[in-house]
Amino acid sequence: MAPGFWRKVRATLGKVPFTEDVVAAWYCVRDPATPGHVRAVLLGAIVYFVVPTDMIPDFFAGLGFTDDAAVLAAALSTIGRHLTAAHRDQARRVLATDAKEQDVA
């Protein structure tokens, strides 16, 4: 799933306001200190974000990511305390680096 995840992140960078939250959730899932049930909830939200054919397909301008945002918000409200400042810092670093690479490309 990682290549598809990063492809989707790059495609939504600067277009979807919750991209940083999705990437932070990814780092939380990858963190060995994160409990299994938390990983499962976050992974479900991440998969929902990656799959383009969900309740509202992502290609619908203006609406396509609203359901993705709702699923992620529900996941974070349930288990958000496990998403740490370190996960968010990792997300910011990788997104800043990726944004610079896209500016150059």
Dihedral angle sign, alpha carbons of residues 11, 67, 44, 58? negative
In a domain, 16, yes or no: no
What is the residue-wise DSSP string for the chain?
Answer: -HHHHHHHHHHHTTT-TTHHHHHHHHHHHH-TTS-HHHHHHHHHHHHHHH-SSSSS-TTSTTTTTHHHHHHHHHHHHHHGGGS-HHHHHHHHHHHHHHHHHHHH-
In a domain, 27, yes or no: yes
Residues spanned by the domain of 78:
21-104
In a domain, 70, yes or no: yes
In a domain, 9, yes or no: no
In a domain, 15, yes or no: no
Number of domains into which the chain is organized: 1
pTM: 0.75
Tens digit of each residue's pLDDT (9 = 90 or more) over 11-47: 777 777 888 989 999 999 999 999 999 999 999 888 8
Average pLDDT value for residue range 45-67: 68
At residue 23, the pLDDT reads: 93
Tens digit of each residue's pLDDT (9 = 90 or more) over 2-13: 777 888 788 777
In a domain, 13, yes or no: no
* Chain mean pLDDT for the chain: 80
CB neighbourhood size of 69 (10 A) = 15
